[in-house]
Amino acid sequence: MASSRATQSVLLLTATLGLVNAVALPAATPAPARVEVRAPIVTPAAIRFDSRHSYLEKKDIINDIKSGVAGVAKSWESVIGSALPSFFTDGVPGWFEGLPTGTQVQSSLGISDSDLAAQPTQVLNVPPYANWTDQGWNVRFHGNVYKIPDISQSRVDELANVFLIDTEVSKLPADQQANARNLTRSIFIVQQGNVNVSLSLEPSPSQGGDGEPGGGNAIPAPGGVQNLTLPYETTDLGDFDVFVPIQSNGLLPGNQTTNVQRLNVYTNGTTTGNATAFLVPTQGITFISDIDDILRVTKIWDPKEGLLNSFARPFTPWLNMPDIYANWSRTLPNSTHFHYLTTTPEQATRNYMDFIYKTYPGGSFDTRPLNFSDISATLSIRMFLLQKVFKTFPQRKFVLVADTSNSDVMKDYPQLAHDYPNQVQCILLRNTSATDSSMWFPYNTEGFKGLNNKSYMFFREPNDLTGLDISNGQCLNTTIPQNVTFDRQTDGRFRLGSAGGKVQGSATISFIVALVAAMFMTL
Ligand SMILES: *[C@@H]1O[C@H](CO)[C@@H](O)[C@H](O)[C@H]1NC(C)=O
Ligand SMILES: *[C@@H]1O[C@H](CO)[C@@H](O)[C@H](O)[C@H]1NC(C)=O
Ligand SMILES: *[C@@H]1O[C@H](CO)[C@@H](O)[C@H](O)[C@H]1NC(C)=O
Ligand SMILES: *[C@@H]1O[C@H](CO)[C@@H](O)[C@H](O)[C@H]1NC(C)=O
Ligand SMILES: *[C@@H]1O[C@H](CO)[C@@H](O)[C@H](O)[C@H]1NC(C)=O
Ligand SMILES: *[C@@H]1O[C@H](CO)[C@@H](O)[C@H](O)[C@H]1NC(C)=O
Ligand SMILES: *[C@@H]1O[C@H](CO)[C@@H](O)[C@H](O)[C@H]1NC(C)=O
Ligand SMILES: *[C@@H]1O[C@H](CO)[C@@H](O)[C@H](O)[C@H]1NC(C)=O
Ligand SMILES: *[C@@H]1O[C@H](CO)[C@@H](O)[C@H](O)[C@H]1NC(C)=O
Ligand SMILES: *[C@@H]1O[C@H](CO)[C@@H](O)[C@H](O)[C@H]1NC(C)=O
Ligand SMILES: *[C@@H]1O[C@H](CO)[C@@H](O)[C@H](O)[C@H]1NC(C)=O
Ligand SMILES: *[C@@H]1O[C@H](CO)[C@@H](O)[C@H](O)[C@H]1NC(C)=O
């Protein structure tokens, strides 16, 4: 089967190239989770490694390897000896586009229709946001309807091993084995198209927790109880994503309250489709935050670590970032809203939600919908989701948070500041290469040219963010040297094509991850 072939190829490649990954496994960064879980908690699941970061740079790496500049292999095609998809050879990363869907899963794993029919229908209900309109509250319900086929554990392990470098499921500690299997089962699901989705809404009781009632002083909605059915059936890929004006039934109008109101959303027919909806006042500040390597430790630039951190190990907050968010949640005006936007494929996002709600202020979510799977969509997904939020809240101000290892962030965030100059309050970017020596990918600051240099900050660690007066637009901690060149930056660390052994090793490992994923796609 493709999976074992891929695994073997990787082992072969690893042996051929004599790779040694010299990076020691870091101890998990301890940080207490202090916020209580909200009432309808989403089901946790493990995560697939997502290496769409820095894809432009990976193109260069692949070119390097191709031309032998890195000195690793004369020709990687000859090493592999088989055709790869053209988008891969062209350097566009394909490994996150190829998650199998529906019939592919069913046919590749030999699951019969009747076996599948016997499985319960499940629903991923992504925590929605709502804006206030002439028709009242307008809620963006989005998510996916699917079934989990019954796959034997040995087959699951075989599939899971494809995601791991230099190890396998059987060698992981028991809790990590469980995560890896859970992740794999979450990916090998069969989406259900043409299904009607019915929801019921009711006030979400106080979340409790350490002075962070759901984020930005959100309150339980004082009404809103109702049942509704979405106006369209799910797409062929099982997705639903639609704004629905809901009945007021006692909700506070968005132009007459400064509090975010929380509604519980339950999906009829399953206990898997619970979420909290956030009804966001017309004016105020919305934090839009990426998750990997800014709210949690992923090390996406270091594939072996990134895979383990995403796939097997429990999610770990990044240093004291939860304290920074807790302080913003407590001290900024009641109208403050938190939105978590990850471009991880939706099948893999339950774990993200579970982690965020245990660790950071409650808020709405965006994940990568399944129909964003071709190459142009891959390059545009983050901007598509960001623009949707901006257009939904034309009177709100935004604080955009992420790290420099995302090449789409480095383009999209400053572009939004150019396009919506009155809406982008701050851009806060963790410079991952400043603190992590294994992050050697260049990043590009060209987009920041022409922006007010007090409206953004590159920072190194969470404490750099203390004491900012975000409400009044103070986004820059002037004690932090900025070093912005408005060009591709490497911070003196690395020049493509002239690497030392360490860099060369990382490049090759990145490449192998890409290879594994490309082969995984052929399932
Ligand atoms: C609040 O919004 C409603 C619906 O859009 C509108 O009819 C009403 O005039 C608004 N009230 C104020 C005070 O702006
Ligand atoms: C993943 O783990 C959670 C919590 O143990 C469980 O409820 C869920 O059903 C699992 N998901 C899969 C796909 O096995
Ligand atoms: C979904 O609901 C619509 C409207 O009630 C109905 O016409 C359609 O047949 C339903 N689809 C399914 C698959 O039940
Ligand atoms: C919503 O539907 C449930 C059954 O699915 C019912 O028990 C409940 O009374 C309904 N609520 C409203 C407000 O119609
Ligand atoms: C994906 O579906 C959403 C609606 O669910 C739609 O707005 C969007 O344009 C689609 N995107 C692509 C790339 O097909
Ligand atoms: C909820 O689903 C049940 C079957 O599971 C169905 O009988 C009922 O009509 C549905 N309720 C709504 C409000 O769609
Ligand atoms: C979803 O909510 C229902 C009703 O409160 C509850 O019974 C169920 O356990 C919840 N599901 C999860 C996964 O928490
Ligand atoms: C913020 O919301 C809380 C909870 O409803 C309320 O007690 C407080 O008065 C609000 N503060 C302001 C400034 O409106
Ligand atoms: C509410 O959101 C919808 C969907 O993005 C948007 O079309 C509409 O203009 C927004 N309404 C207001 C009053 O901002
Ligand atoms: C800017 O460069 C200096 C000197 O190399 C470094 O100490 C500092 O961390 C850099 N600033 C950021 C935000 O990376
Ligand atoms: C700026 O960053 C430094 C170093 O992390 C920190 O000690 C300080 O509190 C931050 N805030 C301000 C306003 O200087
Ligand atoms: C907490 O946030 C407020 C508002 O942004 C800010 O004024 C204050 O300095 C922050 N405190 C710390 C310790 O970061």
Of residues 411, 366, 420, the one with CA closest to residue 393: 420
From ligand 9's centre to the CA of 280, what distance in Å? 12
Which residue's entry shows tokens 């998809």?
Answer: 85
Q: Would you say the CB of residue 258 lies under 6 angstroms from ligand 8?
A: yes
User: Which ligand is the nearest neighbour of the Cα of 255?
Assistant: 1
Rounded Cα–Cα distance for residues 139 and 137 (Å): 6
From ligand 10's centre to the CA of 295, what distance in Å? 21
| Ligand 2 atom showing the smallest separation from residue 185 Cα | 13
Of residues 378, 388, 313, 309, the one with CA closest to residue 343: 378
User: Taking a C-beta distance cutoff of 8 angstroms, is the pair 456, 427 a contact?
Assistant: yes
| pLDDT of res. 207 | 59
The upper half-sphere exposure of residue 92, i.e. CA atoms within 13 Å in the direction of its Cβ, equals 12
Residue having the nearest C-alpha atom to atom 2 of ligand 9: 392
Give backbone dihedrals phi and psi of 460, rounded to 5 degrees, phi first.
-110, -40
| Ligand 10 atom showing the smallest separation from residue 458 Cα | 13
| pLDDT of res. 284 | 96
Q: Would you say the CB of residue 225 lies under 6 angstroms from ligand 4?
A: yes
Instruction: Give the three-state DSSP class for 388.
Output: helix
User: Taking a C-beta distance cutoff of 8 angstroms, is the pair 414, 388 a contact?
Assistant: no
| Ligand 6 atom showing the smallest separation from residue 229 Cα | 14
Mean pLDDT by 10 residues, the chain (523 residues): 29 23 30 36 29 31 34 30 30 42 76 90 97 98 95 88 80 94 88 96 69 60 96 94 97 95 95 95 97 90 77 93 93 94 88 90 91 68 95 98 89 97 97 80 88 96 97 96 89 44 36 40 30
